[in-house]
Amino acid sequence: MCCSIIGIISSKNVVAPALVDSLKRMEYRGYDSVGVATLATTNRISVRKGIGKVNQVNSSLNLTEMEGFVGIGHSRWATHGGVTDYNAHPHPCCTEDIAVVHNGIIENYLPLKEELVKKGHRFRSETDTEVIAHLLEDHYNASRDIKAAMLETVSQLEGSYAFVAMFANGSLACARLDEPLVIGVSDNAYYASSDVLGFLQYTDQAMFLDNRDIAIIDRDGAHIFTFAGEPVTRGVTKVAWELADVNKGEFAHYTIKEIFEQRTSVKAATYQEEHKIKVFCDTIAAAGNIIVTGSGTSYHTSLITSMAGCRALKKRFEPVMASEFKYNMDSIDKDTVVLAISQSGETADVLSATKLARAAGAKILSIVNVSTSSLARAADVSLAINSGPEIGVAATKSFTGQVSLAYSVLDRISGGRIGFDRDAVSDKITKMLAGSAAIERLVNVTMPKVNDIYLLGRSIHFPIALEGALKMKELAYVHAEGIAAGELKHGPLALMDKNAVVFVLNPDDKTYGDTLSSAHEVKTRGAKIIGISNVSNDIYDAMIEIPKMENELLYPLVEVIPLQLFSYYLALRNNVDPDFPRNLAKSVTVK
């Protein structure tokens, strides 16, 4: 699961309102069911949980009214077990003296469950998580020692996980293996959370747990151990408060707010500390073999970075999807640099790719938005795009931020071969956004209701065709396909008829003539054509004008804007909540 977890121990305040507030702030990570457990004054753990988003479950179960100074909370994005009230977290053990919230996957939960059932444990859910609660119960009953119970439990678990367990004696115990877990520390409370956003409204002091760390938190403080039981200290880091600024402002949704933030985020991405960007650039310049990897939108940035890198540095860059990485390891050696790109810095496939590459001798660079993320910490050098929190599940500002930063790195190494000028790009994006009403009209008035949208582009426009299609799928649930225009005749042409709508990415660069021919081929089959170009042509049934760019590599930064807007307005037309598309999570921390 890619879920949000939070645990709070407070010496002063009832924790339920803060637990619910934290879950709301982290809802973008997962949101099909929600639950809270608190330790009531009677020393009984009480659990309330149900299907729906945080506000829905809170209004039906009054989560915020639960009593207690210690509690845990969870919002879920299901992987093991359907979306049911029982499968929602927290999961109590048989005696209900321990309850657990968990993010990740316990791969060996079935044999563990069988063994526990044989011992008489009663399971109430179909989740992998519930084995943690029963294992803890088993070991705690034997030793009455939380540390011993935690050590025994983690030694039996296989997979990747972060979990927080609440004990009826008022302690919280948590552990992490390949899933994020961070502890917030304030004067009168401790917070254990999957994301700093879970506590940043209360404290900016954070302790990042390392992989294979266990923390036991009680009124005396937080005690940290390795999985081998050795006590360790983890320093307290101050986290940027700006991250806490997550509201929609004047906008109806986070997604549209974040689309408009690109006016400035493309600039913010390029402000970097000199010593870091220098080492980053030197590492790329010295590399024999460069592999660029990412998932989803960040993979599209990897495609663009690779094409632009080859052109600017006259050197081979190879884009590899993070989920395919492990099958393509043969060329990786100590002369290899892997550039891993990720908004969250927590995507499991990306983290696993960097781990494998590191083991094969490669150096790791990363571009992230969350500068405290696991990927940032796993890299030799990591640069952050400084976009601020991206809450909408579909990546928007992080994409243009990643491309802007990659371009400024390549410009720095190549002496300006791309010609990325942050102010000029920001101005052009601002102008594109000023035309948002025209895109809204295109969606609501001009466009017929369609089931299939195709996007054609060649060269550097092809990744934008893929990215535009991804936005339409994610946001509006419309089937959309990005096609390399030259491939049309090798198959997709068979799909073109009067029911198809085709976006043609066609500014007047060296792809122009060929892409125009492709447009003619689909027009002849009756498809409706929407041109995205700086030059008009009668063949387009509708046209979205983009500005002329100095270098064709810069077009992706403006072409993507109307496609993001189009997908957003199409989501609204299709009555879909653009911020929280069904079945998707912002941060996919499972493989």
Residues that bind ligand G6P (CB under 6 A): 295-298, 342-344, 347, 350, 393-395, 584, 586-588
The C-alpha angle 414, 417, 419, rounded to 5 degrees, equals 120
DSSP 80-108: SS-S-TTTSSPEE-TTSSEEEEEEEEETT
- Active-site residue among 248, 278, 586, 591? 586
Q: Cβ distance 497 to 416 under 8 Å?
A: no
Packing angle of the helix pair 109-118, 130-143 (nearest 10 deg): 50
Closer of 270 and 297 to ligand G6P (Cβ): 297
DSSP 522-587: HHHTT-EEEEEESS--TT-SEEEE----SSGGGHHHHHHHHHHHHHHHHHHHTT--TTS-TT--SS
Closer of 404 and 551 to ligand G6P (Cβ): 404
Least Cβ distance, residue 121 to ligand G6P (angstroms): 35
Q: Cβ distance 319 to 303 under 8 Å?
A: yes
- Active-site residue among 3, 93, 174, 281? 3
Closer of 146 and 304 to ligand G6P (Cβ): 304
Coil, helix or strand at residue 269: coil
Which positions ≥6 away from 485 have C-beta within 8 Å? 456, 457, 458, 462, 504, 511, 514, 515, 518
Least Cβ distance, residue 52 to ligand G6P (angstroms): 20
- Cβ-based neighbour number of residue 245 at 10 Å: 12
Least Cβ distance, residue 100 to ligand G6P (angstroms): 26
Least Cβ distance, residue 298 to ligand G6P (angstroms): 4
Least Cβ distance, residue 529 to ligand G6P (angstroms): 27
Q: Cβ distance 572 to 477 under 8 Å?
A: no
Task: Check if 498 is active-site.
Answer: no
Task: Check if 94 is active-site.
Answer: no
582 φ, ψ to 5°?
-60, 150
Residue nearest to ligand G6P (CB): 296
The tokens for 517 are 């021919």
The C-alpha angle 523, 527, 532, rounded to 5 degrees, equals 75
User: 575, exposed or middle or buried, with CB in 10 Å at 0-12, 13-18, 19+?
Assistant: exposed
Closer of 153 and 297 to ligand G6P (Cβ): 297
Least Cβ distance, residue 519 to ligand G6P (angstroms): 29
Which residues are part of the catalytic machinery? Answer: 3, 586
